[in-house]
Amino acid sequence: MTMSTLSFDNSDQHLLVDKVNIAYGQHAIVHDVSLAVGIGEIGCLLGPSGCGKSTLLRAIAGFVPLQSGSISLAGKTLAKDDFCLPAETRNVGMVFQDVALFPHMNIAANVAFGLHLWPKAEQVQRVEELLSLVGLSGYQERYPHALSGGQQQRVALARAMAPKPSLLLLDEPFSGLDAMLREELVPEVRAILRQEKIPGLLVTHDQTEAFTMADHVAVMNQGRIQQWDTAYNIYHKPDGRFVADFIGEGDFLACNVISDTCVQSPIGELCSDRPHGFPIGQSAEVFIRPDDVLHLDDSPITGRIISKRFRGTHFLYRVLIAGNQTISCFADSHHNHEIGEEIGIKLSLDHLMLF
């Protein structure tokens, strides 16, 4: 579904971005963007570099003015075309890619930085609570240089959550971490936000991060939201060619529609258990993901391997098929075929994605 088809009941939404446009001078960056994040939810802005996702996040934080549209949080207007609430009064926390901890302050002082108006005893209690929550109990007297990258990111998260913000914004906070640490930390951060009951909005270009972290994902391209949906629907029911091509891996194969549920393709007749909505006789393209293609030695459908990538548990083969078209195919790692070999393939589709 695209944002143009969505409407929101404002009373049910915590963060509401409504028809927002943002420009730097004459250069338009964000075009007519709308999205909503409910109480207790985590949303994500996902897209390639330069698509406008960080600009939109900064506008929600109060660092960038709107050209038109509006942003509200918990029923309070943060910004509209003729008004911009100062960032420091929005009760919005932010975690950046660069953790930006104060090197001259110990961890307790870093976490307590936004609590200067709290009574001292409450500051100490809040710091202890958060360090325990992020797995750093007893680290109060250490300094940032003595911590690992993952530990520093946990401290930055604790500092952003300390004043109990109404919303936490996360601008690619995991991109500087190695893959193994990122895989460990992302679900931990989601669990921490859930426990603190703080809604969040993450910006990333990493699909795994988006799918692990968010309840709903906005796929952005050239300043527009192409689809705002669950991770499952974005992967299995992409709304348009860009979303299908950007999310995961896959190939577009030319085909002809032969019935309400079937198409004729270079690898035979492909059918779905539900109507695809295209008229019979129309030329179209069917989108095939590698996990839809099975390597089957005795299949009558064959293709020639033109490239291979070893991924530990499996190979990803690139296979040339009839019609001079190519598709990708997963195969167990013990099926170690050479480039140039003919292999049998079979499609296993639950549904057709036609464009």
DSSP 26-38: TEEEEEEEEEEEE
Question: How many Å separate Cα 93 from the centre of its chain?
Answer: 19
Tokens of 38: 């409910």
For 71, the 3-state DSSP assignment is: strand
Residue numbers of the chain with a pLDDT score lower than 50: 1-11
Q: Which residue, 208, 197, 279, 198, is CA-closest to 249?
A: 208
The secondary structure of 251-309 as a DSSP string is EEEEEEE-SSSEEEETTEEEE-SS---PPTT-EEEEEE-GGGEEE-TT-S-EEEEEEEE
Question: How many Å separate Cα 208 from the centre of its chain?
Answer: 7
State residue 294's pLDDT score.
86
Q: Which residues pair with 36 in a beta bridge?
A: 16
Q: Which residue, 188, 184, 192, 347, is CA-closest to 272?
A: 347
Give all domains of the chain, ordered by start, each with its CATH number: 3-91+165-244 (3.40.50.300), 251-347 (2.40.50.140)
Return d(Cα 350, Cα 304) in angstroms, integer.
25
State residue 99's pLDDT score.
85
Return d(Cα 206, Cα 211) in angstroms, integer.
9
